[in-house]
Amino acid sequence: MAMIGVLGGMGPMATADLFVKMIENTKAQTDQEHLSILIYNNPHIPSRIDAILHGAPSPEAELVRSAKLLERSGANFIVIPCNTAHFWFAAVQKAVTIPVLHIIDTVAEHLLQAQKYEAQEIMLFATEATIRTGLYQQRLSQKGLAFLTPQPEEQWLISQAIAEVKSGHINGSPCLERLREMMACYSRSGVKAFIAGCTEIPLLFAKVQGDFKTVDPTLLLAQRAVQLARKLERKEQERAVCIRV
């Protein structure tokens, strides 16, 4: 039986969002037809943002320890519901023998399949650390994809909104209306879609009123994880048949 390993806790609500989206994208009629998912919700991973922007302690060692724990516990592959944590992706992947799916690669694949956005028609909302390190820029530029990023004063608003989600304050957040106004302004200027490049942002987008096209990396990662798990299960079933024959 295939098992998905979730390296979570960055933050817990984003981890729960990925779990829900994996369930919602699994075809199943009974409990027994759902996938095995092992979630390590580790809230003790040091701040990725503080490490990048302010030289605070690196989360690398705790990310690696968490990945190894998931591997030892039987996970066939790992997903990480945190975009900024992918700054340490290479170290995590090197530390384990099982695959670690890259959340930004899933976005690149989705945009390439869509083939409907020009460089000035899509915008990235993410943490300041994700934007400064160029995680999306590097990964997407390799695929010939480009996008807009917010101005500094707009980035401050996005960072505040992300912090409110992490603290559990989404409903009634004063950031929601300001975020809606910013998205409406960019939509009028020609932006057709907004990438939720932080796993807290899909939770914000769900509360923002307006007809905005969004790209949800958490959803794309959930769908990819489910597809891979089902593929692994089919291979196990085929091997079992061969052995019986």
Q: How far apart are CA 199 and CA 201, in angstroms?
A: 5
**CA 240 to each of CA 52, 62, 98, 227, 237: distance values in angstroms, whole numbers, following the listed order:** 47, 37, 21, 20, 5
Task: Indicate the SS3 state at residue 148.
Answer: strand
Reference 71, options 43, 92, 44; nearest CA is 92
Q: How far apart are CA 20 and CA 226, in angstroms?
A: 12
What are the residues whose beta carbons fall under 8 Å from the beta carbon of 127, sequence distance 6 or more?
A: 48, 49, 83, 84, 158, 159, 162, 197, 198
Cβ–Cβ < 8 Å for 53, 132: yes
Q: The tokens of 62 are what? A: 């705790």
Q: How far apart are CA 236 and CA 87, in angstroms?
A: 33
In the chain, at which residue ranges do the beta strands (DSSP E only) sit? 3-8, 36-41, 77-79, 122-125, 193-196, 214-215
Q: How far apart are CA 153 and CA 129, in angstroms?
A: 15
Q: Which residues are catalytic?
A: 82, 198
- Residue 245 half-sphere exposure, CB side, CA atoms within 13 Å? 6
